[in-house]
Amino acid sequence: MIILKKSRKISTIIKSAVFIFVLYSMFNIVEQQAQIFSKKRELEKINSDLISQKLKNDELKKIVILADKKNDEYIEHIARDTLGFIRQNERVFINIAGD
């Protein structure tokens, strides 16, 4: 009888431990699923922000290229008209008749 009571007590303890372990595992799985869902939403937001930033960067690159081109044109205009510079191998005709 004593052996049966001990084995029942041990069996009850093992069943209780397994039940607690299963509950703990289920709780962890649910918690991890919630974290995964949250991280996926965060990743989607970051990816959309990345796409938006890439579009802004492309626009800014275009603006910089246009500004450099306009800047080069402005520098050439000042060099030619104000300073009298010419390009290499360029022929300049001067009207000496004054007309």
**Does this model's pTM top 0.75?**
no
Q: Which pLDDT tens digit goes with each residue over 63-75? A: 888 777 778 888 8
Read off the pLDDT band of 60 (50, 70, 90): confident
The vertex-30 CA angle with 43 and 41, nearest 5°, equals 15
Evaluate whether 79 touches 85 at the Cβ level (below 8 Å). Answer: yes
For residue 28 the two structure tokens come to 């962890």
pLDDT at 1: 55
pLDDT of res. 62: 85
Q: Which pLDDT belongs to residue 3?
A: 63
